[in-house]
Structure 1
């Protein structure tokens, strides 16, 4: 029998393989990874400093360990060049050699790529992104060699704010720059965003909002490296040791598009995680499920459990209950359940001793989302989540 092939060795790929092996010990599984296929939890990257985790301690297992645990073939440093959906075949490249693999079912778990802004200057190519463990190793190695540890983060979204809090907790000098007027502007109502910003500023994080980075130039160049002069769109300048870009991710859809798989913001699937091509599925950050793109851990877990059953012959629709997102910013404990963007809501806010609770209420009086700021408010996440309608309702299989 042909194998099931998973393209991608991130959390989505490994979680699916693990869930499938709970159901089926015999079916041949192949995972194809463009890197060394280390298994790690990506969310740990943005709080590894405070967690006192060196880069080499983050991985939970290397490819050899995962091969043994999951009884699967893992092809490392291997790229999928093309997909022939009609013949159910892949062309892959490894060590400069092209070969062909047959598959019974194919899963795209190809993740998302960092968005990069067009920034001028001779230091622009030195801007770091942290989208995987290898990126993080390079970032940490550079920062550990710097004496002053001045960091400018481009992007005041979820990942940018998590890195800012983590770096500030370990005595780095942190400046966060964003074109938006408030941090987490897409997730929070303005008054909560301001309170969140105030909490982070209290520990010494500097925000420069309403502007973006225009130019990054190298200065004070020595054999040990250089400093960087960062010029903002308003002319303001900062001298830093490292620039980290965290302005967001975009699903990796290039392979799908070249294979006649339908894409929009991500790889389009139905609630069975099926693409328009037979026996080809998508999961994780790359998957746009029934028009919904949720690059978070809980949706990924829901997808993996459902798809594992489907791959094992039990057709199973993915179910999205209300899934709050916990933001890893200890200086401003935050839990967010975004309201659907196509639903009109009013915010009702309750002030607490250490924060606030804001509820997004629709015209029918139904709770559609919430924001919990502070440790006291955070204790209400489970009770409130039960009151919010499912994003993708459960369906009979």
Structure 2
């Protein structure tokens, strides 16, 4: 039975969160034992690039920044790639891990960090299980997706949110024929006011993307999607990008408090003080934070805590850059449940929208075109997330 030192840190997940945490922790503590367990290949890569790689001609290999062996050397850590965690045994402070050959091992921990990420939300409709509907959530998915696409293929993309819009722009830029279906009346419907959403739809339309907004797929068959208005779309490949579901099963089965995500306090500790969670799987006091900049802030704060200096998470307003070259966009959404109205400035592609409370305080913003350069100054005026 393999067991890490009892003062060691075990990180479950080798995504941007897990690797950034390990890197920050190693800066602060040269001696602590770090073990990273991942069901993936353990390669270091930029996940946000998955939705912007086709137009740049990048395959999975060219997206890889470092191999797991290089990461292990850089971090002075043990990396267990293609190992799946079967259970967390809190009483013994161990995790049960299934090796690639199917055998199991136990790994002890002093502190355990859940950087498990999230799974793509499944699109449930008649025939969806057998229609070849794909998702892209990691480097393995991207490699399979890229291999499946032939030049000029007709791609049906379900979801016009942040990731869906980025994928649509990327695929159209790479020469694919792209159609997008979403029940919302405009792209990025949860992030943008109507005027900016309609401007985004116009820009992506001019890039060759056809939109079927206010519509849902009600029935799938291989190569054909029937919509709720009776129309149909023929496709060669279909991709679903309708959101993410935090990976909480391990935490729930271990008896940790789980709501929308794994509940953590201001120091990212779960209901077990020896176990922490961060990234897409964690529900912080500010809620779920499925964006890159909050994840980086979490990694720095948690690394300091694990190194012996408890550091509460502090989050200023963190704008999100939307990777849509057809229309550059930056969004800093108001907190969920915030009361107010969008106030617009400008016209056409270059616009500024402020979400203003009844008391006249700006709580969020969205910028498009040439106005995106205002993001840093505006972000300083927004309320902190934490």
Q: Distance in 2 between matches of 1:354 and 1:188?
A: 14
**Whole-angstrom CA distance in 2 between matches of 1:184 and 1:33:** 32
Q: Does 1:64 align with 2:69?
A: yes
**Equivalent position of 1:151 in the other structure:** 155
Q: Deviation per CA, 1:294-322: give whole Å up to 9, x if none.
A: 11100000000000000000000011101
**Displacement after TM superposition at 1:119 (Å):** 2.7
Residues 110-146 of structure 1, C-alpha deviations (whole Å, 9 max, x = no match): 0000001223338735111000010000000000xx2
Residue pair 1:124, 1:215 contacting (<8 A) in 2 also: no
TM-score by length of 1: 0.93
Query: So what's the TM-score if we normalise by structure 2?
Result: 0.96
1:77-116 maps to which residues of 2 (within 5 A)? 77-94=82-99, 95-116=101-122
CA RMSD after TM alignment:
1.3
Q: Could you tell me how far apart the structure 1 residues matched to 2:130 and 2:329 are?
A: 32
Give matches, 1:259-270, under 5 Å: 259-270=254-265
Q: Name 1:315's counterpart in structure 2.
A: 310
Picking from 369, 379, 382, the partner of 1:385 is 379
Aligned residue pairs total 380
Residue 348 of structure 1 aligns to a residue in which SS? Answer: strand
> Could you tell me whether the CA contact under 8 Å between 1:123 and 1:217 is conserved in 2?
no
How far apart, in 1, do the equivalents of 2:355 and 2:9 lie?
42
Alignment correspondent of 1:324: 319
Deviation at 1:51, TM superposition (A): 2.1
Question: Structure 1 stretch 96-105 or stretch 153-162: which is displaced more?
Answer: 96-105
CA contact (8 A) 1:79 1:92 kept: yes
Change in CA separation of 1:367 and 1:175 when aligned onto 2, cut-off 3 Å: same
- Secondary structure, in 3 states, of the residue corresponding to 2:258? coil
**Match of residue 39, structure 2, among 30, 34, 39:** 34
> Any stretches of 5+ residues in structure 2 without a counterpart?
none
Quote the residue 1:361 is aligned against. 356
Within-5 A mapping of 1:1-397: 1-2=5-6, 3-94=8-99, 95-121=101-127, 124-143=130-149, 146-218=150-222, 228-352=223-347, 354-374=349-369, 376-392=370-386
Secondary structure, in 3 states, of the residue corresponding to 1:380?
helix
Q: CA deviation at 1:291?
A: 4.5
- Which stretch shows the higher mean deviation, 90-99 or 268-277? 90-99
